[in-house]
């Protein structure tokens, strides 16, 4: 231990391991680390070469615009997803090759499933939903921004700091091998004295604060900033699901922050919350962790349900069926999700009566979910269905998610759970709900709202390829795991010797490659669409004949969102206006618009939190204290800044808005037949 560098020294990188002992396992680790370093260096080079630092700083890193912050969340999620998907492929590869010797050590495999799970939950799924909510909710409720635009920036900074720690762990030191749940006593200092669990703890704690703040921000935005006339029962369904998710973030994030910090106290200061001796009790950890962990599942899936509701009604040109029942179902899920956490550890020994109570609660939560599926299907019934990319995802979701839900019903029965606990059956189940549920939902949402923030559609043909590859890849990879689980194959196994597993493992390994191609196709779609953005442009703002407020403004949405705050007279206000024949009415007067000024607060806190987390991992106490002090320091400095807002003159707003209205008046709309063609400039015309 050096006072200046803590536990840090030159021999903690995978490069030194690879030089000392160049076997396949160490070379894979060093290769991954090299990829991170090269990727970072290339990004720096690219930004410098193209002189983009100024634009990056002014237009993005210091902005408080909810749309840009949402985009940055999604970009963060996609970067992290690239890593986590590759890790999944490597794990499937190891299992496929294991009867021929495999290529990874058990510890390395443990790191892989730990980072894969941690990243997918905290740094892919969470930023995706928070990003999409950021992009869509203020536009859907007729607001200029979220309630606390600068705090929004801080949330993003904290989430990014957590993600940065996980990325750094690839190059400096090693990540935890304790899975994404980090159960003690295995993750206690006695069994795991290294830095791995510390990386997990500080990544989760720091990003957890950010997510909790996001929850507060969204809830207050929806409660307080709705446009006049938008009563709760006039809110679009996505906003409803965002509200439920926000409330759940507020109440579900503290448990994981607390349990992680208690684990940190155990590890660093010798406390005895979860140790084997002196009264420590790991069951308490499991309890607290899953008080977060189970609601978390619904935090992730509810916004996806919101996307499905928007997609189903938009791409069938029908009013959403059963709006009220969908609202009630969403709220019911949010509440019941707090009463089922124990089903994650039926086998821990709390006795039959307790298990039965939680088993029943778990089965009950399927009822509102079932209501939703029927509502969406009824929405499609006799609709003007277009099989666009989001609809393909919806189709995949319908079939696959129901299978995942039904296997969840099996697991909800403690008797069955005892048989398949900790087998690949469970792995199959949660991937089966998280991929077709959350991931497909988010990809559909990105495809759906992409034109609203960027001003051009995504390539439809490539998007369809991507969607079908995700669907096919999912089936090939995860459906075989059900069989393997029932055959008794435990989860998280770096090796096995039973040849009966081999065929299924090989199919899953092939499926993983398909998923890798699907992800690459996603990036190709984004790249190609950006190159053809002129052909795909939809400046008039309404490419899908949308029904809610966000489609009644230009694309990309101006920084002030609405030139004049709309007055809402009905649910699906924009669809009602179009049916009545008076959308795009010219405002009689414009007013000055006040928006928050750029600020470096979020970026500063991101830097400070990253330094602090890194220092805590490596026991560099002076740096940890410095990082910890810089965070309140930045907030205090911010408190003394007097000019935090800037005013956009009414004339400027009027000029932009009138130009857009003139363009609409000149343009000819397209019918739904031409929705995916170049003729679609974002003005919808009714079908003949």
Q: Note the residues at the interface with another protein (CB under 8 A).
A: 147-148, 212, 215-217, 219-220, 223-225, 228, 250-251, 253-255, 257-259, 262, 265-266, 269-273, 277-281, 284, 288, 291, 632, 636, 639-640, 642
Residues 6+ apart with CB under 8 A from 598: 58, 62, 63, 64
Q: Specify the residue, 288 or 526, whose C-beta has the smaller distance to another protein.
A: 288
Of the two residues 128 and 288, which places its CB atom closer to another protein in the complex?
288
Query: Between the CA of residue 439 and those of 240, 481, 508, 637, what are the distances in Å?
Result: 19, 19, 19, 40
Cβ nearer to another protein, comparing 106 with 628: 628
Report the C-alpha gap between 494 and 31 in whole angstroms: 20
- Token pair in block for residue 256: 């994981």
Nearer to another protein, 1 or 636 (CB): 636
The whole-angstrom separation of Cα 528 and Cα 462 is 9
Closest distance between another protein and the C-beta of residue 134, in Å? 16
Smallest separation, CB 270 to another protein (Å)? 4
Instruction: Select 282 or 317, whichever has its Cβ closest to another protein.
Output: 282
- HSE-CB of 28 using CA atoms within 13 angstroms: 19
DSSP designation for 346: G
Residue 284 C-beta: closest distance to another protein, Å: 6
| Residue 213 beta carbon to another protein: minimum distance, rounded to whole angstroms | 8
In angstroms, the CA 681 to CA 661 distance is 14
Nearer to another protein, 17 or 266 (CB): 266
Q: How far is the CB of 641 from another protein (least distance, A)?
A: 10
Structure tokens at 463: 């998007």
CB-wise, 632 or 686, nearer to another protein?
632
Q: Which residues of 302-330 are buried (b: 16+ CB within 10 A; e: fewer)?
A: bbbbbbbbbbbbbbbbbebbbbeebbebb
Distances (CA, A) of 431 to 130, 405, 407, 425, 481: 20, 11, 11, 10, 10
Closer CB to another protein, residue 258 or residue 502?
258
Indicate the residue among 162 and 215 with the shorter CB distance to another protein. 215
Supply the minimum distance, in Å, between the C-beta of residue 205 and another protein. 12
d(CA 313, CA 380): 7
Distance in Å, CB of 272 to another protein, minimum: 5
- CA proximity to 572, closest of 609, 545, 591: 545
Q: What is the C-alpha separation between 571 and 681, in angstroms, rounded?
A: 26
State residue 2 phi and psi, 5-degree precision: -100, 140
Decide whether 293 or 451 has the Cβ nearer to another protein: 293
Q: Tell me how far, at minimum, the Cβ of 491 lies from another protein, in Å.
A: 28
Spell out a b/e string for 227-260, using b for 16 or more CB atoms within 10 Å of the CB, else e.
beebeeebbbbbbbbbbbbbbbbbebbbbbbbbb
Nearest to another protein of 256, 508 (CB atom): 256
280/414 with CB nearer another protein? 280
Question: Closest separation between CB of residue 225 and another protein, Å?
Answer: 8
The minimum distance between CB 109 and another protein, in angstroms, equals 33
**Surface-to-core class of residue 27, CB atoms within 10 Å of its CB (0-12 exposed, 13-18 middle, 19+ buried):** middle
- Smallest gap from residue 154 Cβ to another protein (A): 13
CB 552 within 8 A of CB 679: no
Element (DSSP H or E) covering residue 199: helix 196-224
Closest to 545 measured CA to CA, from 675, 659, 405:
675
Q: How far is the CB of 278 from another protein (least distance, A)?
A: 4
Cα distances (angstroms) measured from residue 113 to each of 72, 333, 496, 501: 26, 29, 16, 19
Closest to another protein by CB, 27 vs 258, is 258
The least CB distance from residue 584 to another protein, in Å, is 24
Which residues, at least 6 apart from 397, have a Cβ–Cβ distance to it below 8 Å? 308, 436, 437, 440, 441, 444
Contact of 183 with 276, CB cutoff 8 Å = no
Tokens for 336? Answer: 């019941």
Our CB check for another protein shows the closer of 281 and 325 to be 281
With respect to another protein, which residue has the nearer C-beta, 137 or 483? Answer: 137
Check if the beta carbon of residue 109 is closer than 8 Å to that of residue 490: no
Shortest reach from residue 281's CB to another protein, in Å:
7
For the bound state, the minimum distance from the C-beta of residue 243 to another protein, rounded and expressed in Å, comes to 12
Task: Collect all residues with Cβ–Cβ distance below 8 Å to 383 and sequence separation of at least 6.
Answer: 315, 316, 317, 318
Count Cα atoms within 13 angstroms, Cβ side, for 450.
24
Residue nearer to another protein on the CB measure, 387 or 637: 637
Judge contact between 555 and 138, C-beta under 8 A: no
Distance in Å, CB of 212 to another protein, minimum: 6
CA torsion 20-22-23-29 (nearest 10°) is 90
**Pick from 494, 512, 514, 515: nearest CA to 504:** 512
CA neighbor of 417 nearest in space, from 501, 345, 489 = 345
């Amino acid at each position: 231990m050096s006072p200046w560098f803590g536990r840090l020294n030159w021999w903690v990188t995978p490069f030194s391991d690879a030089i000392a002992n160049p076997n396949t396992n160490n070379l894979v680790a060093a290769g991954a680390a090299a990829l991170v370093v090269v990727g970072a260096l290339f990004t720096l080079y690219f930004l410098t070469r193209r002189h983009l630092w100024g634009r990056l700083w002014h237009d993005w890193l210091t902005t408080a615009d909810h749309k840009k912050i949402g985009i940055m969340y999604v970009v963060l999620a996609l970067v992290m997803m690239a890593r986590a998907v590759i890790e999944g492929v490597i794990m499937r590869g190891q299992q496929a090759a294991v009867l021929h010797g495999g290529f990874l050590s058990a510890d390395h495999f443990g790191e892989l499933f730990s980072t894969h799970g941690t990243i997918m939950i905290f740094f892919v799924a969470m930023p995706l939903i928070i990003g999409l909510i950021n992009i869509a909710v203020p536009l859907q409720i007729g607001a200029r921004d979220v309630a606390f635009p600068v705090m929004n920036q801080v949330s993003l900074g904290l989430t990014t700091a957590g993600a940065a720690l996980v990325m750094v762990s690839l190059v400096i030191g090693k990540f935890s091998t304790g899975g994404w749940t980090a159960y003690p006593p295995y993750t206690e200092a006695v069994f795991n004295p290294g830095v791995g669990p510390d990386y997990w703890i500080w990544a989760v704690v720091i990003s957890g604060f950010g997510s909790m703040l996001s929850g507060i921000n969204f809830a207050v935005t929806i409660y307080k900033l709705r446009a006049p006339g938008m009563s709760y029962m006039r809110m679009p369904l996505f906003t409803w699901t965002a509200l439920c998710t926000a409330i759940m973030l507020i109440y579900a994030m503290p448990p994981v922050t607390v349990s992680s910090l208690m684990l940190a106290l155990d590890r660093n200061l010798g406390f005895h919350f979860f140790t084997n001796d002196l009264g420590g009790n790991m069951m308490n950890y499991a309890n607290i962790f899953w008080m977060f962990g189970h609601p978390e599942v619904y935090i992730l899936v509810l916004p996806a349900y919101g996307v499905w509701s928007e997609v189903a009604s938009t791409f069938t040109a029908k009013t959403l069926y059963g709006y009220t029942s969908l609202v009630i179902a969403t709220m019911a899920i949010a509440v019941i999700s707090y009463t089922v956490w124990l089903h994650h550890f039926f086998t821990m020994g709390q006795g039959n009566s307790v298990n039965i109570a939680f088993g029943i609660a778990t089965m009950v939560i399927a009822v509102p979910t079932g209501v939703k599926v029927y509502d969406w299907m009824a929405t499609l019934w006799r609709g003007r269905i277009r099989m666009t990319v989001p609809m393909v995802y919806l189709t995949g979701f319908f079939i696959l998610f129901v299978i995942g839900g039904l296997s969840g019903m099996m697991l909800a029965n403690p008797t069955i759970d005892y048989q398949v606990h900790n087998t690949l059956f469970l792995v199959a189940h949660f991937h089966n709900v998280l991929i077709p549920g959350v991931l497909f939902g988010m990809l559909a949402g990105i495809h759906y709202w992409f034109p609203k923030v960027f001003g051009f559609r995504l390539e439809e043909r490539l998007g369809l390829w991507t969607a079908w590859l995700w669907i096919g890849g999912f089936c090939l990879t995860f459906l075989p795991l059900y069989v393997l689980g029932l055959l008794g194959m435990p989860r998280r196994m770096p090796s096995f010797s039973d040849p009966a597993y081999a065929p299924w493992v090989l199919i899953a390994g092939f499926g993983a490659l398909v998923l890798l191609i699907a992800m690459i196709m996603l990036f190709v779609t984004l790249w190609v669409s950006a190159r053809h953005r002129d052909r795909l442009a939809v400046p008039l703002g309404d490419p899908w004949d949308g029904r809610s407020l966000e489609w009644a403004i230009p694309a990309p949405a101006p920084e002030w969102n609405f030139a004049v705050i709309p007055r809402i007279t009905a649910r699906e206000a924009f669809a009602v206006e179009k049916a009545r024949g008076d959308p795009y009415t010219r405002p009689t007067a414009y007013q000055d618009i006040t928006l928050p000024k750029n600020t470096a607060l979020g970026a500063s806190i991101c830097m400070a939190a990253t330094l602090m987390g890194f220092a805590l991992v490596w026991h560099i106490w002076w740096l940890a204290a410095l990082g910890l002090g810089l965070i309140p320091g930045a907030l205090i400095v911010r408190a003394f800044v007097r000019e935090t807002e800037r005013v956009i003159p009414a004339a400027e707003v009027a000029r932009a808005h009138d130009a857009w209205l003139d363009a609409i008046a000149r343009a000819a709309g397209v019918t739904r037949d031409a929705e995916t063609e170049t003729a679609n400039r974002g003005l919808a015309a009714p079908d003949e």
